[in-house]
Amino acid sequence: MRRAKILLINGIILTVSTLFMRFVSLGFNVYLSNKLGAESIGVFTLIMSVYLFFVTIATSGLSMVITCIVSENLEKNDKKLAYQNVKTSIGLSLALGISSGILIIVFSDFITTICLHNLVSKKILFFIAIGLPFIAMSSCINGYFSAVRKSYKTAFVQCFELIFKIVITVLLLPNSIFKGIESICITLILSDVIAEIVSFSLIYICYIYEKKRNFPFSCRCGNLKEIISQSFPVALTAYIRSGLSTLKQILIPNRLEKSGLSHSISFASYGVIQGMVMPILMFPNIILTSFGNLLIPEFSRLSSNMSQNVVKNICHRIFQMTSAFSICIFSIFFIFANDISLAIYQNLESAIWIKYLSPLIFFMYMDTVIDGILKGLQKQFFVMIINIIDLVMTILILYFLLPVIGVFGFVISIVISEIFNFTLSFFQLWKVTKFKIDLKNYILKPILSSFFSYCILHAFALINTSSIFNLILSIFMFSCIYFLMYVLLKLNLKRIIR
């Protein structure tokens, strides 16, 4: 009971902080989109895909590995070994971060010419290289705080980092906005790197204080061999996955040009879907992401200490709540797509893509939770393999389909990718836990709730989207009616089916 209470408290803290960060990030992205335009956003998104590939090399899955190792050490009440392992992993992450920075500098000519289409100079890659060691060490320490159920410290530091980054960007951006796309992107990356360095400084101070309070003695290095042996398969698959993901992002604007679109329109189309629509659709997923990350250490403990029935029951309850939430969010985006696009971007350019892609919310949100459970059950390697297969398949679809049908090929690739990824992850979890697949509660009940809610709103003319306030009120009313219908259907579903 105490463990569940701690999980809930940490989940609420993480959810609130992540909700705040995503809300601020979304507002900041909207500010950038309206300020810079779709083409600049497309170029910056492409640079970020390269940035994230080298971040993957720098972090190498150490955060998740140290979470699992420290959780197991503390479960055995071996606090000394836990701190030894954290100390070793921080040193390893520093070495990986420096190595990643050296790699991006060595291959800077290839990256700017082939990957970034000579849209920016090598200067931007040098700024990225500076920040990689700090990102790597921060990630490792965050994994430790997740294991000791003190994720609120990580949440506080990340909130401060985001605000700090936005302040710097807002101060520096006006000087570069008229100097071209490269100057804009350098400003955005430089702001991010400075914020990462400040963030690491804060999280490291928190870690030192935590260590002195709980283990005031100096400790030797931990088991480097064990850390490497556990992180190597995760890191290797992460490299492949991130590399394929970067290749996919690089491929999209290139293949869109092959369909007959101009260079500018190709990057604008890519920017609208990848840089504007997908962040909106994934915004509510922060609630599930927060709990999904907390599920990793909790299921790691459950799998070793409790019976299979306990794991099955918890999976069933998690899926019930996740499906109800995801179908509600899908319905909101589908019904209010035009109004949401107008409210956020002051145009209807993204509305059609919000409507087309909104049904994928169910698969994306469910997959977030399933991945968290599988990682906690030590199936992270399988999760990576699924993602690699998914990316290879998506790249092939993009390569052959985009030149033929243009932007719709990009949308089709997203649809196939998300459904494929969810299906394999779902049945792998079922294979491991043998939980009951309850389509009545996972699918039928939420869809009926959504349908009845929409009918009630229309019947009583309760939908009013003439202003942002009325749009928010309409969405709030839809959500309230939806969850009321969901509870009522839980009581009367058998009678309705008959």
pLDDT of residue 132: 94
Rounded to whole angstroms, the Cα distance separating 51 from 143 reads 21
- Taking the complete model, does pTM exceed 0.75, yes or no? no
Question: End-to-end distance of the chain based on CA atoms, in angstroms?
Answer: 39
Q: What are the two backbone dihedrals, phi and then psi, of residue 347, each rounded to the nearest 5 degrees?
A: -155, 170
pLDDT of residue 7: 57
Rounded to whole angstroms, the Cα distance separating 103 from 95 reads 12
**What torsion do the CA atoms of 48, 191, 155, 228 make, to the nearest 10 degrees?**
50
Rounded to whole angstroms, the Cα distance separating 382 from 234 reads 9
- Residue 134: which of 40, 27, 58, 49 has the closest Cα? 58
Which residues, including other chains, have CB under 8 Å from residue 332's CB and lie 6 or more apart?
Answer: 475, 478, 479
With 0-12 CB in 10 A as exposed, 13-18 as middle and 19+ as buried, what is 62? buried
With 0-12 CB in 10 A as exposed, 13-18 as middle and 19+ as buried, what is 2? exposed
CA atoms 131, 136, 141, 143: torsion sign: positive
- Residue 58: which of 121, 123, 137 has the closest Cα? 137
Count of CB atoms within 10 A of residue 358's CB? 22
Using DSSP, state whether 440 is helix, strand or coil.
Answer: helix
Count of CB atoms within 10 A of residue 185's CB? 25
The two tokens of residue 25 are 């990030």
Task: Give the single-character DSSP code of 221.
Answer: -
Rounded to whole angstroms, the Cα distance separating 123 from 126 reads 5
- Residue 459: which of 444, 490, 481, 479 has the closest Cα? 481
Q: What are the two backbone dihedrals, phi and then psi, of residue 116, each rounded to the nearest 5 degrees?
A: -105, 10
List alpha helices for 259-377, DSSP H. Answer: 263-270, 278-282, 286-305, 308-335, 337-345, 351-357, 361-376
Cα–Cα–Cα angle for 114, 119, 124, rounded to 5 degrees: 90
pLDDT of residue 377: 76
The two tokens of residue 233 are 């398969």
Binned average pLDDT, 10 residues per bin, the chain of 498 residues = 57 69 78 76 84 90 81 74 82 92 92 81 90 93 81 82 90 82 88 93 89 68 73 78 82 81 76 83 78 65 64 81 91 91 83 91 90 77 81 88 86 91 88 80 88 86 76 89 84 51
Rounded to whole angstroms, the Cα distance separating 472 from 258 reads 41
- Contact between 294 and 143 (Cβ < 8 Å): no
Count of CB atoms within 10 A of residue 320's CB? 17
Rounded to whole angstroms, the Cα distance separating 288 from 319 reads 11
Task: Give the single-character DSSP code of 15.
Answer: H
pLDDT of residue 133: 95
List alpha helices for 215-277, DSSP H. Answer: 224-258, 263-270
- Domain spans, the chain: 2-437
